[in-house]
Chain A
Amino acid sequence: MKRKLNWESIVRSKVFWAVVAGALILLIAVIVRPDFLKIEYNEVTGMLYGVPIDILNRSAEIIIIAMGMTLVIALGGTDLSVGALVAVSGALALKFLRWDVLIYNTPGNYTVMPFYLVILVPLVACTLMGAFNGLLISRLKLQPIIATLILMVAGRGIAQIATNGKQFTTMYTPYQFIAQGHVLWLPLPIIIAAVVLISIALFTRKTSFGMFVESVGVNPNASRVSGLKSNRIIMIAYMLTGFLSGIAGLIYSSRISSCDSNNAGVNNEMDAILAVVIGGTSMSGGKFSLAGTVVGALIMRTIITLVYFFGIVSEAILAFEAVIIAVVIVLQSEPVRKAMAKRGHKKVTGGVVRA
């Protein structure tokens, strides 16, 4: 990652504006609520508490999904099915935990199927669904939006049918630990998100995979001609996104100790795409920034948390999110950045690659 660190290139980069926007929002938050950034250590439970921890905890699912989404978007695609996959993953996990729900109605601290199956089967199923998306896009050359729309529509139906339209609840401690447990003073979802972030970062930046993704995203034909196996790269990216949605689904269903196929992962695809775009990855493919994506996801969650403080109903948060996203998007848009970074002698080439 050799990048010239002059002021011009910083101002022109989209990540910079995302960070500025995030800092502004945090500033407003601190002015409104001086204790916004306070973190407390509780000696009895040995855990950290505070709004920042809560923001990190709550944004874990979106961060995890958005990691895969970053790669998919860098390839010039989109994955709309992630929200449905979150529902499928939770539904399958609860199905395996509570196979006996027809006989015993009360949830208890037990599991019917072995615990490794409870974790493994949803993840494998989601990876396979990701592979289905990847197959349609790489082999049949379908447009990503429409190819993933299939599972977005059908996925929720599959999740409902897996649980027969019922909402299962579980009290199985190891399963609840996934989202409600604590490791190293922090909630486990934060740790999972961090592990995912680090592994994806290593996978993309320490191997040539990340460069291949960017290359295919810029020009699939040129990449194929120069010897890259575009199809395989696309397959891996979509399978990875499916797998990560599966993890997010497990976390979500563990958070609420049940599966809610109607509401699990609703709008997750939109949130993840927005996180990626706010983070500076262009929708038309090319260079991507995992750190930017994390910043994007955190910005969104911070807005939500901030708006809660004003006592506004949760559904109305979308309006505030929309306004702030609009501001970020306008700041990041081509003409505005061009105008801001105008230096006269340097001609802007107008490509998205440069961003």
Chain B
Amino acid sequence: MLKAETKRQGLFSRLFNPKFVMVYATLGIFLVIYLFGALMYGSKGFTSIRTFTLMFIDNAYVGISAMGMTMVLITGGIDLSVAAVASLTGMFIAYGTSVLGLDPVACMVFSLLVGTGLGLLMGATIHCLNVPPFITTLTGMFLARGVCSLISRESISISHPTIDALAGWKIYLMRLVDGEWVKIKPVAYINFNVLLMIFMVIVGIVLLQWTRFGRNVYAIGGSEQSAKLMGLPVGRTKILVYGFNGFCSALAGIAYVLYVKSGWNLALAGGELDVISSAVIGGVLLTGGVGYPIGTLLGVMLKSTIPALITFNGNLNSWWAKIATGVLLLLFIVIQRIVVNYSARKKAK
């Protein structure tokens, strides 16, 4: 019976599987908003490739962190410490290179280790001591922010050849004109951060969709109890997920340092909400078990079009971006609700 049903699913019904609806909804609304921007401000260059790549460049660190967050949310947990860890990474690199005169690469490796370690520690606390993820990671956030401020209260700027080289490295988008490659106009480029983000998206997709680890993550999100009874390594997977998220946060911190070239103890305040809301807008269910890295990427893009629109408008208070994000969140969770109800009803039949 079950097998017959699986067989009957063609390409069409597989593509329109309710579990992908959220991703499509994100893509659809992104296209609608982008089209709106194109109609309103197309003449000002909203549709140019430059604007498009800039959206990636400005939000690469959010995207990197959101990949780890996606995985954590799929297990049914949450991590509030991401922005604080990223800020701590920035502080380590800035203090290490500018004040202590260390090699920036060593600082980066150190902060990646610290981020991963903190993540693993929080994962272990959540799993072994049964403390809610919200509280554990909140404590982690306080700790990271506090250590940031202990290092320095002032913003430390970084000027080091390695950092400058990494931050200044860019690939210009070219176009073939009369057998010769020329830069497209207006000049558009992608930098190291964007490549890093694309790399992390690929890592996220591979880990979640094609490995046993990824299937364990989805299983835990679906029902931790069942996963445990099935003999899946629940504890190990959960701890590793938080460790991976810590690694992503530290990597996001590195991307942020390359973006602003300074470390500040209050940098990225409230950034965890950006990351979480990007993932939610991208169709990740906070109850766990549902979500795709590609959806999160779309969520990051959708969220970054709003500030772009407000900038292009020029008259609107930038605070409208906050309200628009709130409205988007509302819209998406209502869609999620409908989808979940629909599929539950379908299952009941």
Contacts and interface: CB of A to CB of B under 8 A. Distances in A.
Nearest to A151: B326
Interface string A320-354: 11110110011001111000000000000000000
Contact of B319 (A165, A312, A323, A334): A165
B286 A273 contact: no
B146 A322 contact: yes
Contacts of A141: 337
B270 to A, nearest CB: 8
Given A149-B276, A161-B323, A322 B143 contact: yes
A258 interface: no
Contacts of A158: 323
Chain B interface secondary structure, helix, strand, loop or mixed? helix
B145 interface: yes
Contacts of A336: 129
A136 B326 CA distance: 13
A78 interface: yes
A154 B323 contact: yes
Contacts of B142: 270, 318-319, 321-322, 325
Scoring A322, A323, A333 by chain B CB atoms within 10 A of each residue's CB, the highest score goes to A322
A315 B325 contact: no
A317 B139 CA distance: 12
A78 B134 contact: yes
B150 A274 contact: no
Contacts of B322: 153-154, 156-157, 160
Interface residues of A, number: 49
A319 B189 CA distance: 40
Contacts of B131: 329-330, 333
B143 A318 contact: yes
A142 B148 CA distance: 35
A93 B61 CA distance: 37
Interface string A154-192: 111110110011000000000000000000000000000
B145 A315 contact: yes
Contacts of A326: 139, 143
Nearest to B338: A140
A51 interface: no
B153 A313 contact: yes
A109 interface: no
A195 B114 CA distance: 46
Interface string B139-176: 11111011111100100000000000000000000000
Nearest to B129: A333
B134 to A, nearest CB: 6
Interface in A280-322: 283-284, 312-313, 315-322
Given A156-B322, A157-B322, A318-B145, A335 B317 contact: no
Interface string B298-327: 000000000000000000010111110111
A145 B327 contact: no
Given A315-B149, A329-B131, A336-B129, A140 B323 contact: no
B23 to A, nearest CB: 18
Contacts of A164: 317
Contacts of A284: 132
5 contacts: A145-B134, A273-B135, A326-B139, A330-B129, A336-B129
Given A146-B286, A157-B322, 12 more contacts: A145-B134, A154-B322, A155-B326, A156-B319, A156-B322, A274-B138, A312-B150, A313-B149, A315-B266, A318-B143, A319-B143, A319-B146
